[in-house]
Structure 1
Amino acid sequence: MNLAESLAGFGHWRSDRSTGTYSWSPQIYQMIGLSTELTPTRELMLAMIHPDDVDKIVVAVNDATRDGTLAPVRIRWNRPDGKTVHILVAGQMDGPTAMIGIMRDITEEVETERSLIAARDQARAAERAKAELLSVMSHEIRTPMNGLLNSVEALRRNPDEAQRRPLLDTLNQAASSVMSVVDDMLDYSRVESGRVVIESVNFDLKAAIRTMGHLFDSMAEAKGLTLDVHGLDGEPVIVCGDSARLQQLLSNLVSNAIKFTEAGSVSIGLSPTRSDDDADYWMVIIRDSGRGIGQETLGRIFARGDQVDAARMRLQGGTGLGLAISQQLAEAMGGSIAVSSDPGKGTTFSVELPFKRADGPAALAEEVPTGPMRILLAEDNPINRRLMAGLLTREGHQVIAVEDGRKALGAIAIEPFDLVLMDMQMPELDGISATRSIRALDPPACDTPILAISADSQPERRRIYFEAGIDSFLAKPIVSGQLLDMIATMRRTKRAPADTGGDKFNRERLNLLVEQGGYDDAAILMKMLLFDVSDRPQRIAASVRAQAWELAAAEAEALRTLLDSFGSFSLSRLLAAIARQCARRECQPAVLEELFEQSRALALVLNGEFGAVPSPIAQAMDNVVEPDFLRGSR
Structure 2
Amino acid sequence: MISPDTQQPSPERMVEILQRKLARAETALAEAETALEGRMRELDLANRELLVREEDLVRRLDLQNMQLLNAQRTGGFATIFGAPDEPFQSSPQLNAILGFPADTKLTPEHLISVLHPLDRNRMMAEATQFYSNLPADEDHTFEHRIIHPHEGTRWLRWHIRRSSGDENRLRGIYGSVRDITQLRANERAVKMLQLRAERRVRELNMLTGELEAEREKTEMALAVRTRFLSTMAHNFRTPLATLSGVIDLLEGAAEGDGDRRKLDLAEHSVERIGALLDEALAESEGQSDSIALFAAPLSLHRLLDQSKRFWAEVGSNQQGEMSWQLADDLPAKVVADAVRLRELIDNLCGFAMEEGYGGSVAVAWKGGLSISLTSDRMGYELARGSDALQDPQFRRAMHLVEAMDGEVTRNPDGCAIVLALETAAHDGAGMSAPLRTAAGDSPQVLLAEDTESNRQIITSLLEKIGCTVQTATNGAEAVELVSKERFDAVLMDVQMPVMDGEQAVRTIRAMDGPASRTPVIGVTAHSLQEERERLLAAGMSACLAKPVKQSEIRAALTTALAAGAGAAAGDQGGSPLFDLVRFRQAFEALPTHFGERFLAAVKSDLVSYGDALTGALEQGDREAADRQAHALKGVAGNVGALRLLGAVEKFRAPDADWRGAAAGDLAAALEETYQGCDEAYRVLIADQ
What TM-score do the two structures reach when normalised by structure 2? 0.37
> Please, what TM-score do these two structures have when normalized by structure 1?
0.39
Greater C-alpha Rg: 2
